Structure 1
Amino acid sequence: MTELTGVHKGYEFDIADLLRIMERLRDPSDGCPWDTKQTFTSVIPHTLEECYELVDAIQQGDLPHVAEELGDVLFQVIFYSELGKELGAFDFYAVVDGIARKLLRRHPHVFAGGAVEGRVQGSVTTDEVKANWEAIKQKEKGHSKTGGVLADVPKALPALSRAQKLQKKAATVGFDWGELSGVLAKLSEEMDEFQQAVTENDEESMAEELGDLIFSAVNVARHLGYDAEGVLRQANEKFETRFGDMETAALEEGSALSDESTLQMEARWQSAKSRD
């Protein structure tokens, strides 16, 4: 069995030390003035920032940095756990116990009898795993009493991620296009409606139809098996790289993009694209 306590060989500190460090930081008598003032709400922006920094490190393939950012994300868990303990609501060990129980419960195809070392004979497909996972979640959440299938999709998710999650949830009860062709047709329809709103110069309608268009584009990504947020991140990276190439090329010629015409910049953009 894996040792869960004590310092690992070659390292100076363990999880108990980290928990104690958090206690010291929050000590009202001699803790850190900043840390002692924090609340669940005030820590949220830092949690989001740390998660995005972790994602960025992973996408950059910088594994030492990934380890560092994982530590920062873990510290967010430790921080919230300390706040929960101070309020008598929960502590770190309750968090660990809760996620362990959930993983055992939601993976009956791995953990026979819900036991860590329980082993299931035979195998299941990925589709079966996904179906069972959703069914178990539905049972846990008791959606019939809490507002429906979409009730547990967090409102704080980035808009693209939340759109894809909402679509995925709706699909679990059959509200979905059976074929990609239907999704593409809907995307085309939304584009036509947006263009009509633009033609009519209806600002309110343009905003609404543009939202529908983006939502439909997310649905295309979902049907193709892509993560819409990830796809857009890649597009952002590509644009950033190409634009940087344009700036570099202009600088090497003693120019600046701000001084060039639209046609000149378009030529530089096409040149940058050709180097991809």
Structure 2
Amino acid sequence: MTDGTTVGALDASILGAALYLAPVAPERAPASPWALPWLSNRLREPDGCPWDREQTHASLRGHLLEEAYEVYDALEAGASPALAGELGDLLLQVILHAQLAAEAGVFDLADVQEAIGSKIVRRHPHVFGDAEARTAADVSRQWERIKAAERAEAAGVGDSEDGAPAREAREPGSALDGISSSLPALAASQEMQERAANLGYDWPTIDGIIDKVREELAELLAAETPAERYEELGDLLMVLVNVARRHGIQAEAALRAANDKFRRRFGEVERLAAAQGTALRDLDFAALDALWDAAKASERDARAVAAAGSRAAGGSEEIQ
């Protein structure tokens, strides 16, 4: 800006237009925070990238999911240059979908920004309005009330602005509406149970949930047919997710961490077996169990050495 105006002082409509209209020289593109929409449009032009010009919303679905998971993986290391790169890849997917929709005349990036901006303001009346929410629990309860009102409005429940009856009402929405069917099963289960709990559908104490775990495990062990075992195992998994929820643990993240731990330790088992000149398939269970214990001990020793080094450098690390 040559007149000293900052980006933050611009009207939202002007800023939205700027995102689309401001030209960016290719050599300067990576340095510009407003370059992605321009780059996306350029890739889709007739003389742009053949691959990008062929893409559709449907063809990009898998890429969006892949980039989201790569961001999730990068978050394991916390804030890092790698995370910045992965967030950029994910952001590009958002830009591309907005570009496709703009070409079809449905919506554009400014509409995306307006939608999320309006939602943030609407769902935070304790920040942008007169409501009060002093704790995170207050915010969660308020959030659920607001979303319930939004679902009712979307279903046509209530009167129109002029007081006349609204259009023919559809079946009132459920508190569980809007949970993506594409979510991993553990994450979807936890979100469903969290929403139900926010409406009061919850065990008074975690002891009741633990008793339910025992009950579901007993039913699984007593099941006689594959279909019964299939159903009872699902019930058991769902109750275990509820245990995670009550402890403030993300079940999906906990299982991913357990998977990573198994991968590390099994790799060490394979290494130890190879060092002995033995194939895993030729070992009995006792020998395999001994290798597993050795792998666990090796991992503990490595953590102890790392913790000692951290303490020597003035830091600290908990040994588990």
User: Do they fold alike, i.e. is TM over 0.5?
Assistant: yes
The percent identity for this pair of structures is 41
Question: Which residue of 2 is the match for residue 251 of structure 1?
Answer: 274
Q: Which residue of 2 aligns with 1:265?
A: 288
- Cα-to-partner distance string for 1:81-125 (whole Å, 9 max, x where unaligned): 011111211111111111111112212222347xxxxxx9x8711
Q: Distance in 1 between matches of 2:264 and 2:197?
A: 36
Q: Which residue of 2 is the match for residue 165 of structure 1?
A: 191
Q: For residue 268 of structure 1, what is the amino acid of its counterpart?
A: L
For 1:36, which of 53, 67, 81 is the aligned residue?
53
1:180 equivalent in alignment to 2:206:
yes
Please name the residue that 1:70 is paired with: 87
2:209/2:242 contact within 8 Å kept: yes
Secondary structure class of the residue paired with 1:36: helix
The residue type paired with residue 169 of structure 1 is R
- Label 1:54 to 1:254 Cα distance change in 2 as closer, same or farther (>3 A): same
Unaligned runs of 5+ in 1: 114-119
Which residue in 2 is equivalent to 1:116? none
- In structure 2, relative to structure 1, the CA distance for the partners of 1:146 and 1:2 (3 Å cut) is farther
Of 248-257 and 163-172, deviating more is 248-257
Which 4+ stretches in 1 moved above 4 angstroms? Answer: 4-7, 143-146
With normalisation by structure 1, the TM-score equals 0.87
> What residue number does 2:231 align with?
208
Q: Which residue of 1 aligns with 2:222?
A: 196
Compute the TM-score of the two structures, normalised by the length of structure 2. 0.76
Q: Does 1:234 align with 2:257?
A: yes
1:110 aligns with 2:120: no
Counterpart amino acid of 1:48? L
Q: Helix, strand or coil: the match of 1:66?
A: helix
Q: Deviations along 1:195-245, whole A, 9 cap, x unmatched?
A: 011xx2x11111111111111111111111111101101111111111111
Q: 1:208 to 1:123 in 2, by over 3 A?
A: closer
Deviation per CA, 1:18-53: give whole Å up to 9, x if none: 1111112222x2222222222212211111110111
Distance 1:146 1:80 in 2: 30
1:238 to 1:81, Cα distance in 2 relative to 1, 3 A: same
Q: CA RMSD in A?
A: 2.4
Q: How many correspondences in the alignment?
A: 263
Distance 1:244 1:257 in 2: 12
Match of 1:20? Answer: 38
Query: Please, which moves more after superposition, 70-79 or 141-150?
Result: 141-150
Tell me which of 223, 243, 246 is aligned to 1:223: 246
In the alignment, the residues of structure 1 paired with residue 273 and residue 141 of structure 2 have an alpha-carbon distance, to the nearest angstrom, of 54
Alpha-carbon separation, structure 2, partners of 1:65 and 1:244: 25
Amino acid across the alignment from 2:254: V
**Matched letter for residue 217 of structure 1:** L
User: 1:136 pairs with 135, 146, 153, which one?
Assistant: 146
